[in-house]
Amino acid sequence: MKSIGEEIQQSEFSDVYQELGINILFTAAWFGERNRLALKDYDISLPQFNVLRILRGQKGQPISVAGLCDRMIDKSSNASRIVDKLEARKLVSRRVCDKDRRQVDVVITDKGTSILEELNEKVPSFKTIMAKQLSTKDAEVLNFALDQIRNQK
């Protein structure tokens, strides 16, 4: 099995926390590459895929562009332009919100939903990727540890 040190050919880290930081970054990038590869044939970028999944999670309820930003992993990505691309392909639709006409309501279309279903078969779920090596107990412990890492002064 390749350790993170072998992966990036770094023989030693200054300490185990440094190793862990790099390991988290590298593992995230590794997930990204896997998913990008799976999406390639459909000409859908990773952020586009994520937006579609957030919209599906809304179960038909519209969400504003700012709401999308809040739920996106990469906070600085430009949700407005990602929605542009998706709208151009009719995978989502956009409508000015009646109650607050500054807001724009975004919803996934039927076409978007059906593409997403196809994609879900191609993109391996995190469960598929991790369940063999990690018990649910392990996963819970990891989740707790990551939550803790981000919650420091």
Partner DNA sequence: GTACATTTAATGTATGTACATATATTTGCA
Partner DNA sequence: TGCAAATATATGTACATACATTAAATGTAC
| Chain mean position to CA 42 | 17
* Residues at the interface with a second copy (CB under 8 A): 1-4, 7-10, 14-33, 57, 70-76, 125-127, 129-134, 136, 138-143, 145-152
Q: Residue 101's binding partner, choosing from DNA, a second copy, none, with beta-carbon cut-off 5 to 8 A by kind?
A: DNA
Backbone dihedral angles phi then psi of residue 123, each to the nearest 5 degrees:
-85, 120
Helix (H, G, I), strand (E, B) or coil at 100: coil
The minimum distance between CB 121 and DNA, in angstroms, equals 19
One-letter amino acid identity for 139? Answer: A
Assess contact for 58 and 107: CB atoms under 8 A.
Answer: yes
CB atoms within 10 A of CB 63: 21
Residue 14 CB-half CA count within 13 A: 4
Rounded CA gap, 28 and 9, in Å?
A: 18
The minimum distance between CB 44 and a second copy, in angstroms, equals 17
Q: Pattern 98-127, binding to DNA, x per CB under 7 A?
A: --xxxxx-----------------------
The minimum distance between CB 90 and a second copy, in angstroms, equals 26
Residue 77 touches DNA, criterion: CB under 7 A = yes
The minimum distance between CB 67 and DNA, in angstroms, equals 7
Q: Both tokens of residue 50?
A: 């994520």
Residue 76 touches DNA, criterion: CB under 7 A = yes
Q: Which residues bind DNA (CB under 7 A)?
A: 32, 36-37, 40, 45-48, 64-67, 74-78, 80-85, 94, 97, 100-104
